[in-house]
Chain A
Amino acid sequence: MNKKKEVIRTESVSKVYNPDTIPVHALREVSVRFDEGEFTSIVGPSGSGKTTLLNMIGGLDEPSSGQVFVHGQEITAMSDRERVAFRLEHIGFVFQYFNLIPVFTARENVSFVMFLQHRPEREIRERAEQLLVEMGLEEKMDSRPAEMSGGEQQRVAVARALASRPSFILADEPTANLDTVSAMNLLDMMARMNREEGVTFIFSTHDQRVIDRARRVIRMVDGAVESDEFREG
């Protein structure tokens, strides 16, 4: 196996919430590295720090101590404004729920991030359609989120995350609100995009069926990495 290219690296990242009142140690000295093309699941009981870790990697929150590097750039040293631009270029997000702009159709939601990136109109149109087709949503392109099932909405969210051609996609419990069929379907799509387009996926979950699909599983307990195992996909 040849040496893979590093995408993300955290160095002793700790996060303490409410340090002045009742401190909550959400992350304790987490040092972890993610390489290009990974399909990694972060697992652990509720409250173990999965969301906090993803937020740190995504530049949505700042650690109490430690650093986060993306492509060797220290995002923890960036200004808020720089981070917004950085996120737009490099990171795709899929949240647990309420990912989409409710007044936009699927197509418009996917187009929106590319619009924010000032991509040419033609590219935006073509890529939005292509991604939605790949996600099996050709029928739903002009539907609004309220007219779609939870699974369909999450697939739109994945399409949107992919649209900006990010270095990696962070998905925080993307299947938590989905039934089994929809959850597996979403995972299939994510896995295929990972396989075919080499997109790096990092997702948190506590759903065993989802965990089984990951090629690397990082298990967290109490804000620390308890185990980190690679498996054959």
Chain B
Amino acid sequence: MKTYLILAWRNCWRNRRRTWITISAIAFAVLLSILMQSLNRGSHDLLVENMARYSTGYLQIRDVRFEDDPSPDNAFEYGDAIEKEVLAMHPDVRMVIPRIQTFMLAADDEGTKGALVMGVDPEREQVLNGLMDQLVEGRFFSWKDGGSGNDGGSVNDGSSGIEPSEAVVSAGLAERMELAPGDTLALIGQGRFGMSASGLFVVSGIVKLPVVEMDRQTVYLSLPQARYLLSAEEHVTSLLLLPRHKRDTDDIAQTVRTKLAGTELTVATWEELMPDLLEFIKFDMAGSYVLSIILYVVIGFGFFGTVLTLTLERRREFGVLLSVGLKRRLLSLIIFLETLMVSVTGVLIGWLLTTGVLLYFVQNPIQLTGDLAESIMDYGWEPILPVSLDPGMFLSQGLIVFFLAVGISLYPMAKIARLKIIEASRS
């Protein structure tokens, strides 16, 4: 075998220039394909990650009816006892994060806007998504602001003049409503079971949320205040479970689902909670796959052309080798090894280049500016191009080239199988 490997390897370098051109083409295809995928995946991953962290959580417990009717009516009771119970369900549940949320109208002197009101525990949110670090202006309400719940802090619709509670408003909403810290904001909507819910809140801070849809319309209240506002003092609409590792998600979901069987609660994973987004991502990836395929077809034809010429040029040589007693099967093997070696070299160089480029991008993220950044932000992306380093991409491109090489080798192999020695040695 060693002799055949040596022979094949040296044959690869008989025409250095041609071989280098082929290798470069393959390396280039691998580089471009992985890069394309990496940028795509990177932004998808980030999008999904942000969605999970700010909106759905990796997995959440909620009332079975909440999906069809996400109103405070379908909130469920939550307290220390349940928290303990849930934490005990699976060892990989790091913590639970309660939220109560609903859509309300946000009003100030200028007018009204729809708002997603989220009652949260900022300390716990911080662990999941670093919410407090997203502050761009002002300060966060402290847990204690609303910790006493219904008394003192919040202002129910009827009463007035008592010092108002605080709200943290997303930057998009603040901009649309021209809010700044210190401004007052009224929230009007419906609480549990038809109770009217309204309250005045002083904007204490403004947060920039990386999910554009949320940044446009979110108002954070402290959990007790939101509960009070919605007449749901004992309730939450969702209980997010924070897994120790993202990969534990499905495992936890399975266990928790079993444990919740028979209750009115259910658990849903981030994948189940954002089906539209995942569908969109699939569609978006298809585009880069098509480009990648086109690239490989072009390069495949180039490679095939080279192998074709090479096969014709070496007919006589093949004839001589066969006449001295080399079996056709072994000659085919040598030619296959040659194709494979060129491909593997190309892939390795492609991988190396790609790794270099990706590592560079990790260190120096591509920051987008201008119109492009605007339109990307409209889609819910941040205006940077994050990259993915998923080794699966490298492997799949390597496999594609491998199969390409196998496919291309079929031609000389077929030729060798049918080569007539005397005709080959006459040419």
Chain A residues with a Cβ under 8 A of chain B: 55, 58, 60-61, 81, 84-85, 87-89, 93, 95, 98-99, 101-104, 112-113, 115-117, 160, 164
Contact = CB atoms under 8 A, between A and B. Distances in A.
A84 B322 contact: yes
A116 B326 CA distance: 7
A116 B7 CA distance: 13
A102 B421 contact: no
A108 to B, nearest CB: 8
A38 to B, nearest CB: 21
Contact of B325 (A99, A101, A113): A113
Given A102-B14, A103-B10, A103-B11, A60 B422 contact: yes
Contact of B316 (A93, A98, A113, A115): A98
A84 B7 contact: no
A80 to B, nearest CB: 8
Nearest to A161: B324
A84 B321 CA distance: 11
Contact of A95 (B7, B13, B14, B425): B425
Interface string B320-344: 1111111110000000000000000
B369 interface: no
Nearest to B327: A84
A116 B14 CA distance: 23
B194 to A, nearest CB: 88
Contact of A164 (B14, B325, B425): B325
B363 interface: no
B324 A113 contact: yes
B3 interface: yes
Nearest to B14: A103
A98 B321 CA distance: 11
Contacts of B420: 61
Interface string B388-427: 0000000000000000000000000000000011100100
A61 B11 contact: no
A61 B421 contact: yes
Nearest to B325: A88
Given A98-B316, A116-B326, 15 more contacts: A60-B425, A61-B422, A81-B327, A84-B322, A84-B327, A93-B323, A98-B317, A98-B320, A103-B14, A104-B10, A115-B3, A116-B324, A116-B325, A117-B325, A164-B325
Interface residues of B, number: 21
Nearest to B322: A84
Nearest to B2: A115
A113 B324 CA distance: 7
The majority secondary structure among interface residues of chain B is helix
17 contacts: A87-B323, A87-B324, A89-B325, A93-B320, A93-B323, A98-B317, A101-B7, A101-B321, A103-B11, A103-B13, A103-B14, A104-B10, A112-B324, A113-B325, A115-B3, A116-B324, A160-B324
Contacts of B321: 101
A99 B317 CA distance: 8
Top 10 closest pairs, chain A to chain B, by CB: A88-B325, A103-B10, A61-B422, A60-B421, A87-B325, A55-B422, A116-B325, A60-B422, A93-B323, A115-B3
A27 B196 CA distance: 111
A50 B14 CA distance: 33
B7 A60 contact: no
A144 B13 CA distance: 14
A41 B323 CA distance: 21
Contacts of B320: 93, 95, 98-99
A103 B316 contact: no
Nearest to B422: A61
A93 B324 CA distance: 7
Interface in B280-332: 316-317, 320-328
Contacts of B328: 84
A81 B421 CA distance: 13
Contacts of A117: 325
A55 B420 CA distance: 12
A58 B425 CA distance: 13
A93 B422 CA distance: 13
A101 B322 CA distance: 12
Nearest to A60: B421
Contacts of A61: 420-422
Contacts of B317: 98, 101-102
Interface in B1-45: 3, 7, 10-11, 13-14
A89 B421 CA distance: 18
Contacts of A88: 324-325
Nearest to B316: A98
Contacts of A85: 325
Contacts of A98: 316-317, 320
Contacts of A81: 327
Given A60-B323, A84-B327, A88-B325, A104 B422 contact: no
Contacts of B7: 101, 103-104
Nearest to A81: B327
A112 B3 contact: yes
A192 B363 CA distance: 73
A164 B316 CA distance: 21
B373 to A, nearest CB: 55
Contacts of A84: 322, 325, 327-328
B196 to A, nearest CB: 89
Nearest to A55: B422
Contact of A58 (B3, B323, B326): B323
